[in-house]
């Protein structure tokens, strides 16, 4: 399974692509989509750049699913609103490509990758480097995106094990609930 992780940002959006084979994570690619050169440009043009950038990443790497960070309210409500619009453009591009989209908070990602939900960015970067056996530390946005992909790989495996255990115990079929989760639907 190939997973695309997305760390939304209006100026810089990180992306990371992993393959998961027999429980092993393999790095495929990572990078950023930047609208920094458009900082003085109208918001719709910047959103279009993000939408097209994610569409290009999807076309190039052909992921099976995506994991996107959930945005929380910041101190500055205007910044939160702008980030939410950027996130919406990114999710729209993923949905347009018919990818299942899962969503995780930064706390969930840090817990899954570092083991501590309030880990600092350098800690996430170093653990991503170690988990994926990378030759160097990825940039902060790419590391967060790879961390989201790692989180989804772990969550997907946990859901499969739960479904198998419940089916073995005769508790009914949870495959429908699992597949709904994978499609990114909220419960």
The residues that are catalytic are 7, 69, 141
DSSP line for 40-79: TS-HHHHHHHHHHHHHHHHHHH--SEEEEEPP---SSHHH
User: CB 172: neighbour CB atoms within 10 A?
Assistant: 10
- Give the Cα-Cα-Cα angle 57, 61, 66 (nearest 5 degrees): 70
Name the region of 133 (left: φ>0; alpha: ψ -120 to 50; beta: rest).
left
- Give the Cα-Cα-Cα angle 91, 85, 87 (nearest 5 degrees): 35
Q: How many residues does the chain have?
A: 187
């Amino acid at each position: 399974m190939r997973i695309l992780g997305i760390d939304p940002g209006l100026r810089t959006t990180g992306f990371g692509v992993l393959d998961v084979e027999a429980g092993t994570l393999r790095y495929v690619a990572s990078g950023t989509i930047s609208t920094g050169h458009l900082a003085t440009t109208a918001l719709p043009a910047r959103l279009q750049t993000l939408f097209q950038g994610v569409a290009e990443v999807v076309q190039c790497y052909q992921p099976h699913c995506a994991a996107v960070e959930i945005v929380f309210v910041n101190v500055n409500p205007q910044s939160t609103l702008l980030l939410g619009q950027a996130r919406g453009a990114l999710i729209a591009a993923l949905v347009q490509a018919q990818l299942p989209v899962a969503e995780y908070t930064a706390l969930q990602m840090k817990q899954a990758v570092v083991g501590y939900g309030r880990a600092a960015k350098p800690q996430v970067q170093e653990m991503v480097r170690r988990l994926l056996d990378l030759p160097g530390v990825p940039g902060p946005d790419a590391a967060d995106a790879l961390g989201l992909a790692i989180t989804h790989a772990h969550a997907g495996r946990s859901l499969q094990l739960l479904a198998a255990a419940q089916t073995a115990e005769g508790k009914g079929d949870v495959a429908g609930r699992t597949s709904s989760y994978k499609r990114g639907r909220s419960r």
